[in-house]
Structure 1
Amino acid sequence: MSTLPNTDRTTIVTGGTGGLGAAVTRHLLEAGWRVVVPWYDESELDRLAPHPRLEMVRADLSDEQEVEQVVARAAADESRPLYGVVNLVGGFTSGPRVHETPVEVLDAQLSLNLRIAYLVTQSALPELIRHGGGSVVCIGSAAANRPFPGAATYIASKAAVAALVQSLAVEYAGDSIRVNGLLPTMIDTPANRAAMPDADRSGWARPDDIAEVIGFLLDDSSRAVSGATIPVVNVAGTD
């Protein structure tokens, strides 16, 4: 496995302009990474300040060709090879029970939560192999292990992410590529606060805490960790 310092490495952060992603991107920039962030929603761009090691690429990550362009951009600097992939793009839906939910809702959740992570990782793997290894991190959900009514499509798609993580970890162990997943509780973002203004947020996972865990999983200090699905909670219960 490559043991370059973070300052000589590149990582892709999908969803890097989102409520969680912006915190992850800032943390990785502070840790010395070159960070390539594909973006789609122009209204989110002001969440990230310009930085000499930050590269923004407009892309629709449901399109295979555009995903390949993002990976090509990330791999363009041979002095800072692609080493990390952080899959944060996702979506949530809840409402009626399964017999009242059109299958198209399931299709949409699988596309957002599974297919995009699959496409981005699939495209990046040859570069990780070429440079002697790397680390992939995906975002699942605590709900995959603790379901609640009305969100079967979301929960099933996040359970599929966990299965993908464990499958990739086995398939690419021989290439020194580690793959891990995080299972956060509800994430304390402005959007979630606005959607649930009266909710008890004491157990919500904080973006900065998740960012630190992702930073650890990308770093060589976690070289013995692969195939894990790791709960991320607000243990202290602070607001």
Structure 2
Amino acid sequence: MSKNIIVSGASGGLGKDVVNKLAGGENNLYVTFGSKKVDTFQDLENVTSQVVDLTDQDAAMNFVNATIEKAGTIQAGIFLAGGYAPGNLHATDDALLEKMFNINFFTAFHLVKPLMKHFETTGGGQFIFIGARPALEADQGKGNFAYALSKSLVFKMAEFINSEGKSKNITATVIVPSTIDTPMNREAMPDADFSKWVSGTDIAENIAFVLSESGAKLRETVLKVYNNG
């Protein structure tokens, strides 16, 4: 069964894999880009792309409302927008915290609010978030304090959504990858064992399963896609 799906952060390496996977399933995708619109998906008729500043609450809400008007109903939201910054507690200041919170939390939260309201009026829906291992494991998070802290908010938001949506057929899933095999990560860590990393296509497959008829029956789901990393 095809679905109308909002996908944020579609221009990144993971975004491209997710969009290509879900578009192949005949879903209708409404995707956002950050600073500029790229033509990566121009050949996919079922993908509509738009530049949206998701750190702007009004811009995000207007995007969701316009998408609902165009699509009729939305069945799922997938939140891929985000960013990374290193630095332990001592190297972290308010500016870095604000940057990470904006990129990793508010870009999702600003879409969640209007979508939650929509799901409540249409009989349900799915939220799928990308978490981070450092937000779950302190030994990994201590070296990227602001990043890990911002991602920890994503897990809590998913918990609150699952609690509030329990009787409304509204669910939130968090996909937690270890290091994702992207050109940027390979360039940053050229001596790493890439075979232990997780590919974007593997994450896309997991997202597709969560959206499937069987996957939609999952509840309070946190999927750790760590491979051997």
Structure 1 length as normaliser, TM-score?
A: 0.89
Find the counterpart in structure 1 of residue 6 from structure 2: 12
Q: Do residues 143 (structure 1) and 137 (structure 2) align?
A: no
**Which residue of the other structure, out of 11, 29, 34, is the alignment partner of 2:28?**
34
User: For residues 113 and 15 of structure 1, what CA distance do their matches in structure 2 show?
Assistant: 11
AA in 2 matched with 1:118: F
**Which residue of the other structure, out of 217, 220, 229, is the alignment partner of 1:224?**
217
- Residues 24-53 of structure 1: CA distance to partner in whole angstroms, max 9, x if unpaired? 0111100111000111233x7143342111
User: For residues 149 and 34 of structure 2, what CA distance do their matches in structure 1 show?
Assistant: 25
State the 1:137 CA deviation. Answer: 0.2
User: For residues 39 and 178 of structure 2, what CA distance do their matches in structure 1 show?
Assistant: 26
User: For residues 62 and 187 of structure 2, what CA distance do their matches in structure 1 show?
Assistant: 35
Q: Which runs of structure 2 are paired with 1:27-176 in the superposition (5 Å)?
A: 27-42=21-36, 45-78=38-71, 81-95=73-87, 97-146=88-137, 147-148=139-140, 149-176=142-169
User: For residues 25 and 71 of structure 2, what CA distance do their matches in structure 1 show?
Assistant: 19
State the 1:209 CA deviation. Answer: 0.6
Q: Do residues 198 (structure 1) and 173 (structure 2) align?
A: no
Which one is further off, 151-160 or 27-36?
Answer: 151-160
State the 1:78 CA deviation. Answer: 4.8
User: For residues 166 and 211 of structure 2, what CA distance do their matches in structure 1 show?
Assistant: 15
AA in 2 matched with 1:13: V
- Residues 91-138 of structure 1: CA distance to partner in whole angstroms, max 9, x if unpaired? 11103x312321221121111111111111112112222221111000
Structure 2 length as normaliser, TM-score?
A: 0.92
- Report the 3-state secondary structure (helix = DSSP H, G, I; strand = E; otherwise coil) of the residue aligned with 1:220: coil
Is 1:166–1:228's contact at 8 Å kept on the other side of the alignment? no
Is 1:10–1:82's contact at 8 Å kept on the other side of the alignment? yes
